[in-house]
Structure 1
Amino acid sequence: MRSTDKESIHFKRSPRYINLGDQWYFKTREGDLLGPYNSITQVHSAAQDFVVLITNKLHS
Protein backbone atom coordinates (compact mmCIF):
# COMPACT_ATOMS: atom_id res chain seq x y z
CA MET A 1 0.00 0.00 0.00
CA ARG A 2 1.27 3.46 -0.84
CA SER A 3 1.42 6.18 1.77
CA THR A 4 -1.08 8.22 -0.29
CA ASP A 5 -3.67 5.41 -0.34
CA LYS A 6 -6.60 6.04 1.97
CA GLU A 7 -7.60 2.40 2.46
CA SER A 8 -6.26 -0.98 1.56
CA ILE A 9 -7.65 -2.90 -1.38
CA HIS A 10 -8.19 -6.63 -1.05
CA PHE A 11 -8.17 -8.77 -4.17
CA LYS A 12 -10.15 -11.97 -4.37
CA ARG A 13 -8.06 -14.92 -5.46
CA SER A 14 -9.69 -17.61 -7.54
CA PRO A 15 -8.55 -21.20 -7.90
CA ARG A 16 -5.92 -21.63 -10.58
CA TYR A 17 -6.42 -25.38 -11.06
CA ILE A 18 -9.73 -26.66 -12.34
CA ASN A 19 -10.96 -30.25 -12.55
CA LEU A 20 -13.53 -30.96 -15.26
CA GLY A 21 -14.54 -34.59 -15.30
CA ASP A 22 -11.31 -36.56 -15.17
CA GLN A 23 -9.16 -33.83 -16.77
CA TRP A 24 -7.22 -30.97 -15.14
CA TYR A 25 -6.73 -27.43 -16.47
CA PHE A 26 -5.08 -24.28 -15.18
CA LYS A 27 -6.28 -20.75 -15.62
CA THR A 28 -3.99 -17.92 -16.73
CA ARG A 29 -4.32 -14.34 -15.47
CA GLU A 30 -5.97 -13.54 -18.78
CA GLY A 31 -8.68 -16.11 -18.01
CA ASP A 32 -7.61 -18.75 -20.54
CA LEU A 33 -7.89 -22.42 -19.57
CA LEU A 34 -4.84 -24.44 -20.58
CA GLY A 35 -4.91 -28.23 -20.68
CA PRO A 36 -6.16 -30.87 -20.41
CA TYR A 37 -3.80 -32.75 -18.10
CA ASN A 38 -4.34 -36.19 -16.60
CA SER A 39 -3.45 -35.35 -13.00
CA ILE A 40 -3.06 -32.52 -10.53
CA THR A 41 0.69 -33.20 -10.56
CA GLN A 42 0.87 -32.71 -14.33
CA VAL A 43 -1.22 -29.53 -14.29
CA HIS A 44 0.88 -28.09 -11.46
CA SER A 45 4.10 -28.79 -13.39
CA ALA A 46 2.63 -27.31 -16.58
CA ALA A 47 1.54 -24.16 -14.75
CA GLN A 48 5.04 -23.71 -13.32
CA ASP A 49 6.55 -24.20 -16.80
CA PHE A 50 4.12 -21.62 -18.18
CA VAL A 51 5.18 -19.04 -15.58
CA VAL A 52 8.86 -19.62 -16.43
CA LEU A 53 8.13 -19.27 -20.16
CA ILE A 54 6.22 -16.01 -19.72
CA THR A 55 8.83 -14.62 -17.33
CA ASN A 56 11.62 -15.41 -19.80
CA LYS A 57 9.70 -13.72 -22.63
CA LEU A 58 9.24 -10.59 -20.54
CA HIS A 59 12.95 -10.39 -19.75
CA SER A 60 14.26 -11.07 -23.27
Structure 2
Amino acid sequence: MTNGLRDHGLLDEGDMEWVRRQNAHANLAYTDPSTVVADCYDPRAGVAGPRRRRGPSTVA
Protein backbone atom coordinates (compact mmCIF):
# COMPACT_ATOMS: atom_id res chain seq x y z
CA MET A 1 0.00 0.00 0.00
CA THR A 2 2.77 2.42 0.92
CA ASN A 3 4.55 1.82 -2.36
CA GLY A 4 1.29 2.57 -4.17
CA LEU A 5 0.92 5.87 -2.33
CA ARG A 6 4.55 6.65 -3.24
CA ASP A 7 4.01 5.74 -6.89
CA HIS A 8 1.00 8.07 -7.09
CA GLY A 9 2.88 10.99 -5.53
CA LEU A 10 0.76 11.03 -2.37
CA LEU A 11 3.62 11.04 0.18
CA ASP A 12 5.56 14.02 1.43
CA GLU A 13 9.38 14.05 1.34
CA GLY A 14 9.74 12.77 4.92
CA ASP A 15 7.45 9.83 4.19
CA MET A 16 9.30 9.15 0.93
CA GLU A 17 12.60 8.92 2.82
CA TRP A 18 11.02 6.51 5.34
CA VAL A 19 9.76 4.30 2.48
CA ARG A 20 13.23 4.29 0.87
CA ARG A 21 14.88 3.27 4.16
CA GLN A 22 12.34 0.54 4.88
CA ASN A 23 12.52 -0.88 1.36
CA ALA A 24 16.33 -0.88 1.48
CA HIS A 25 16.24 -2.73 4.81
CA ALA A 26 13.79 -5.33 3.50
CA ASN A 27 15.84 -5.85 0.34
CA LEU A 28 18.92 -6.57 2.46
CA ALA A 29 17.07 -8.71 5.01
CA TYR A 30 15.19 -11.02 2.64
CA THR A 31 16.96 -12.74 -0.22
CA ASP A 32 15.04 -13.06 -3.48
CA PRO A 33 14.72 -16.86 -3.84
CA SER A 34 15.18 -16.67 -7.61
CA THR A 35 18.72 -15.33 -7.06
CA VAL A 36 19.61 -18.54 -5.20
CA VAL A 37 17.67 -21.12 -7.26
CA ALA A 38 16.99 -19.61 -10.66
CA ASP A 39 14.07 -21.91 -11.58
CA CYS A 40 12.32 -21.93 -8.18
CA TYR A 41 9.24 -20.25 -9.65
CA ASP A 42 7.02 -21.56 -12.39
CA PRO A 43 7.23 -18.99 -15.22
CA ARG A 44 3.87 -20.21 -16.55
CA ALA A 45 2.17 -18.80 -13.45
CA GLY A 46 2.68 -15.30 -14.91
CA VAL A 47 3.94 -12.14 -13.30
CA ALA A 48 0.52 -10.93 -12.15
CA GLY A 49 -0.64 -14.27 -10.77
CA PRO A 50 0.38 -16.02 -7.57
CA ARG A 51 3.79 -17.66 -7.64
CA ARG A 52 3.99 -21.41 -7.29
CA ARG A 53 7.08 -23.29 -6.17
CA ARG A 54 8.39 -26.11 -8.31
CA GLY A 55 9.03 -29.46 -6.74
CA PRO A 56 8.50 -30.66 -3.18
CA SER A 57 9.14 -28.54 -0.13
CA THR A 58 12.00 -29.53 2.09
CA VAL A 59 12.78 -28.73 5.69
CA ALA A 60 16.37 -27.71 6.39
TM-score relative to the length of structure 1: 0.36
Q: Which has the higher contact order (CA 8 A, sep 6+)?
A: 1
More strand by share: 1
